[in-house]
Each structure stands twice: as C-alpha cells, then as structure tokens.
Copies of this chain bind each other. A is one copy, B any other.
C-alpha cells in the first residue's frame, strides 16, 4: 500500500524532457532554461507532488534552507518572542526555521545538536543549556555556523558570535526605580542557577544599593527553582515586616507564583509592598494594578541573531561584533512612593 514517492524521472517523463533539464530547473544554479519549458517542468512537479531530495542534494554541498533555534524553555514568552522575530527575518531570506527545546538539560541538548548536525542544517542559533559550551564545540567541529543567544559562555570556547541583553542593567534599573521612589529595604527574588544572567542581575541590584550607600542584606536575597511553587514559597518567606519593596528577577511562572503567594498572605501591592518585575509577561497589564517592568529587547535580539546567522551561512568566516542590547523601563502601578 505504501506508494513510491515521485522521482526526478517521473517529472521528466510527465513534462516530456530529460532528467538533466529537470535537475537544472530545481538546482539553485543560474542555467538558462526556456521559460515555457521551465514552467512545464514546475507544473509537472506540482501535479506529481515532487519534492527535491535535499538529503542527496546536500551530499553535494548544496544548502538545505533550514536554520535551527535551540532554546532552553519552550513555555517562556521571552524565548518564543525571540523565535517569532528570528522566523520573520529567516523567512524573508527563504529559510525555514525549526525550534528545539532542551529543557535546560545538557544531555537533551547534546542529542538535539548531534541530530541536527547529522541532518546538515545550514546554521543554528543556540541558547546553551545551563550555559555550558560542550555542545557548542560539536557545532564548531562540524563547521555549522552558529550564534550564541542570551547566555554568554565564559572562557573555554573559541571566540564566537553573541547576541544578548544587558542583565546587569536590568537588575540595576529595577533596583534604582525602587530607590528613587524612596525605598531602602529592597528584596531580590531570583533562582539558583549556574547561568551568568541571574548573577549579573544580582550584581546590578547590589551596585544600585551600593551607590545609594545601602548595605546588602543577604537575608533579603531569596533564590529557589524556576517553578510557580517556588514563587509561592518565596512569597511565604518574604520578611514583609522589614522590606518595603522587591525586585522580581525571574521567570514568569515564578513571578506568577510570587503574586499568588502574596494574595494568599493577603498582602497587596503597592500598598504593602512595591514590585518591579524584570520581563514583560503577557499578563503584566491584566493584573490589577498593572506591573512596573523592565522590558527586555526580544525583537532586537531575534532580529540581530537571525541577521548575523544569515551572514555566517553565506560566508562561514564572517565575524560580527558582540550585540548586547539595553533594556527599557516600562511604567506600571506596582511601585508606591515612600513618604519622606
């Protein structure tokens, strides 16, 4: 019952020409074919449902028109917004984008990278699981052009193209917003991770406090895992008799958990506690009051990552400068001015 897929021979027969001519029509090379013959071949191919075998074709070094994006979380708007932008740029250049999710597991990432390498994709944008460079090396060895997204790699790897945003600035700006409103006792909620991004946000928080002459209180820095439950746990632990404000420096599931945890303790924002959130979840203006946020440059990042990759696909030795985009303040109603 399994039918045989149409081959180049079937197309040649149906359009009354040679397989060589069909092959020319489907190759990307500039070879003159009479317009009406080209049309006839394309028509026959369409009717038969012929699809060129990229597998065989790529053995001859032809591009396949496929770029991969490897991200650590599929359920995080931050990454899907970046992906949407990458797709839009790549599509205009004639590429199809495939997305793979590592769930921040280095083992899963290894499997994905090896499969993609063996598929001979044209290029790859990768946000390394747990910020490790192991699988990046596989891309390097196999000469797959790639751009590292969002998570910087330290030391080990050869010099690479990077597109990210300023995590230090986001921590700094969130904290400064609260300081400017007169808060002095400010908590920082994040997650435990080997990834530099959170550490950079925390450094920004500390730098802002330091500038204001305020000592860092380690008891007010709460770290847990990335889940909604973790957010609830941190809200439960929050010393609200001491702090008047907090920076939510983390994933949206956690942020949601934190807000639900505050509700459970019957704590209102901004009355009982002021909040600045790093990131802009879909619900930031649906919750009441709306959240004051630090907006990350998802669009700019996606656009830059795709453009750099496309240049590298064309010219493997192409090197770009590092792109680290600034964040932006986004006004909301979750910060209250302290009397004083």
Chain A contacts to B: CB under 8 angstroms: 1-3, 5-6, 48-49, 51-59, 64-66, 68, 74-75, 77, 80-81, 83-84, 87, 91, 96-101, 103, 108, 111-112, 114-120, 137-138, 141-143, 252-253, 256, 259-260, 281-283, 285-288, 316-317
Contact = CB atoms under 8 A, between A and B. Distances in A.
A49 B138 contact: yes
Going nearest first, the 8 A-B pairs with the smallest beta carbon separation are A54-B118, A283-B283, A49-B141, A98-B98, A99-B99, A5-B142, A96-B115, A51-B117
Nearest to A111: B96
A2 B75 contact: no
Most buried by B among A103, A115, A116, A143: A115
A286 B108 CA distance: 32
Contacts of A111: 96
Contacts of A96: 100, 111-112, 115-116
7 contacts: A1-B317, A2-B143, A51-B118, A54-B118, A75-B77, A99-B99, A281-B283
A5 B141 contact: yes
Contact of A98 (B3, B49, B68, B120): B68
Contact of A84 (B74, B115, B119): B74
A128 to B, nearest CB: 16
A25 to B, nearest CB: 15
Contacts of A81: 75
Nearest to A50: B141
Contacts of A119: 54-55, 64, 66, 119
B74 A83 contact: yes
A51 B5 CA distance: 28
A91 B74 CA distance: 15
A56 B143 CA distance: 17
Nearest to A99: B99
A229 to B, nearest CB: 14
A115 B54 contact: yes
A84 B141 CA distance: 30
Given A80-B80, A99-B98, A55 B118 contact: yes
A55 B64 CA distance: 11
Contact of A137 (B1, B49, B54): B49
